[in-house]
Structure 1
Amino acid sequence: MVKKANGKWSMCIDFTDLNDACPKDCYPLPRIDTLIDATAGHEMLSFMDDFGGYNHIKMHKDDTPKKPVYHVSKVLHEAELNYSITEKFELAFIKTSRKVASRRLVKWVNELGKFDIKYKPRMDMKAQALADFVVEFTINDQEVGGLVLQSLDGFMIEYNLRLDFLTMNQEAEYKALIVSLGLAIAVRAKNPKVCGDSRLVVAHVNGDFEAKDDTMAKYMRVVKGILTQFDECLPIPFAIWGMDILGPFPIASGQRKFIVVAIDYFTKWIEAKALAKITTNKIAQFFWENVICRFGIPRILIIDNGRKFDNAEFRKYCDDSSIELRFTSIAHPQENGQAEVSNRIILVGLKKKVVRSRNTWADELLPILWACRTTCKVTIEATPFMLAYGAEVVVPLEITHKSPKIKAYEPEINEEGIRLALDLIDEVRYEANTRNAEHRRRVSLYYNIRVKERFFQQGDLVLRKIKVSGVGERGKLTPNLEGPYKVKKTLR
């Protein structure tokens, strides 16, 4: 008893331990105000606890099979698709028990109890439940396999493979090999090592055995084609160069009136030098000083059919350095497209720089080359300087205007950043090579749409370009075509 301020006594009851002493009610009473509103205007309110089950009300034996069956559905995702039948049954029990025992559903049912709602099961509920059960638990005639992709530092990628058709063991091995090589390309693996338990497949790929079966031969060709992509994943810069001659120009200092131009096909790096005369020795000296001494010996050199390149002396010079010479077609000199593009860039730059005195064009050559090397190219979305050295160049504008890169310069941090950039240069070149390939694909697609295919038959009359035959005099008024000629034989 507690004495109040007015002198009266009040009784207080301590309910602190009441919750611990009483059992927990999983089905609490509904809201009292809802029940009061529902009984307004009525003499009596009656309701039945449905959660207690049907045992509270005894059912007639004839009505027992009519009890409704509720179907709880669950769509399997990702790893759940690989569960065994037993695991899927256990998962079904867990999901069903969670949904039935949901307190949210209990609360909603209690609140909806005041309404006169009649629940009618779907007429095809049993059939639908049976159909879903059959579809979900039917074992298909599919073969399941697995493969593991592991990096040098121990990182593992596990992949489950399901074949929708019946195969032999060798076909399944080839399918797993093809998928694993595709995963290796997706993660940009450079030199993958494949381990398999089929000696026949290993012998096919290594070339020890010949694939005589047609199906095995098809699989082997697919694998060989994928393996060639690993050689192309890391492009080698400065391996293919194109070279051409520009001129004659107005005579500059030192009697210079020609420009020899060389461009790397991958990085788009341009080397150029002004010369007074075009001789084989001068071209070889330029190639030695500006290409080989700076970037190493290339594998391929693409040139036109001019006498300055196509002669025994220059061929011997390239053979001594193991450089493969490739000549453009006489009818299609634009095949050396990179050299043509570099020529156009240099000519446009000279026209902008040389305004008053045209004899000073040789002095503007180096600034133009600087601009070409530090300008982002559309096809590769990078600068030639970046692809060559792994970092962006510091241009004079950044020095005069104090760019953030200059303000934040710290020798130790800069050295660490350069080392990191050199480690990532292969990835930068790989991405540039991918973008360049995609650009070529789009250009080729656009060009092929405009090409009209034509076929020639034996006996047709055709004209031939004069510059291809090389016969007769050529001038401004000379016609471009000669003929007609009769087609004697079609080759393809």
Structure 2
Amino acid sequence: MPLDTETRYIMMEKLALTLITSKKKLRQYFESYTIIVYTDYPLKQVLNKPDLSGRLSKWAIELGTYDIRFLPRKAKKGQVLADFLVEIQYFTPDTLPELLKSEAKWVWTMHTNGASNSQGAGIGIVLEAPSGLKIEEVIRLKQFATNNKAEYEALIYGLELARDMGIRRLKVRGDSKLMIEQVVGNFDTKAPHLTSLLQKVTELQLQFHQLELIQVLREQNQKVDALAKLASAGECSRHFVIYTSQSPKASEVFSTSSEPECWMDPIIRYLSKFELPAHAKDTKLLCLQAQCYSIIHETLYRKSFNGPYLRCLRPSEAKKLLEEIHEGACGNHTGGRSLAHKALTAGYYWSYMMTEARDYARKCDKCQRFAPTIHQPAQALHSIIAPWPFAKWGMDVVGELPRAAGGKQYALIAIDYFTKWVIVEAYVTVSKTDTMSFVWKHIICQFGIPWEIVIDNGTPFQNAKKNLEDKKGAWVKELPKVLWAYRTTKRSSTGKSPYAMVYGTEAVIPTEVGLPSLRTEIASDLTTNNIQLM
């Protein structure tokens, strides 16, 4: 019997509690088999939400360790029959659109062509009505075929399509002289693999009142030739149909994405449609991998251990992201490990991201030209222990530097030993008053009174002086960019960037404006964001 408090649960909590109770009583079945749950409620979407709290969050974690699939309830037999009649209505000649009914008695024109290469074989068909309505089909053949066999396959499929549409008068145009002469009877067919295809064409000819085959030049058959080459090159995973007409209101397009298959597609198909690979080994591996992913607003995300959900990127999107982080507006041509860490902390993920980031950094032309060849320090390093953030600062004056705008020749630099946070200010001359103002404004007012300030350790600032001297007279203008790149780059001594050490989160990069991650989408509501920060 349910408790009195359980009877007051909302519907989603009652459904989740039912699964939890079933899991406790049938644990051996949950651990050994795939559990399929039929429900009309969006229970899967609720349990996969990243912002769950309370008992639902606890139950979602318990159920996430098992292979549970949620499917909609099966329709009644009467509804299935009604859906079947609706589906076959389009393909029945008696129920064709009125436009096709009125034109089926006239002579239609069909262009066919087949193409074959090392990547595969494909066929293209263009069926044109007397009114200008065009039906284009592109089909990729699963088995390898020669050019002649592909031409026959295109003709057979085109004749079957015209027959199913109720067309009885047809004019076929093709650029294969061998196929047309063999069908007409002028040439003999000696190849065994073409004899059966010719017999099929002969049987289809008897189902038309008028059928005329005309050979045309290749230049007159360019459009259907391009469709056949598109299919043979493997740029379409399945056939698609494009209906075009001279009237904009009658145009209707159905197409498939030409983006190549990537690592995300099997996971998306499994989570959204429960499609499994053909091999049992791949199926088991996919089921284990899919537990780390979730689909939110039709976008694939990876569950993170210590942060928000990570948006999964395709190879083209990952390449643009690496380019922006590495050499974009706020890039500093960092190494492969830091490059992958920046992408990960920004809220993105893709397969082999560490390897691709390392390869991208190695192939960068500017990094190869200007990277230092010696990475070992000139002197032995000494460990310095800072008790807490902003307690111990290192400060020094860098100069004389090339004269910049306003006559500035000196830079006053301060570094926090704990967070590695850097503060730089340019001056014409560094006096006692300037130093006191710098410490008061940039250290005490922002981070509190420090415990210790070291001013006689100038070795860490030699590299900064060299970098500023290389900028010549523009070193003052380059200071903000250099500071931003340094503060958002992961430090090997702390394992995090100085920005994350100070503010507790990574900085938002420009890429997240055009390609938003989960944290930028959640933070788009300023009111909610301010409440969460309080």
With the length of structure 2 as denominator, give the TM-score of the two structures.
Answer: 0.26
Higher relative contact order (CA 8 A, sep 6+): 2
* Higher gyration radius (CA): 1
* Structure with higher strand content: 2
Normalising by structure 1, we get a TM-score of: 0.28
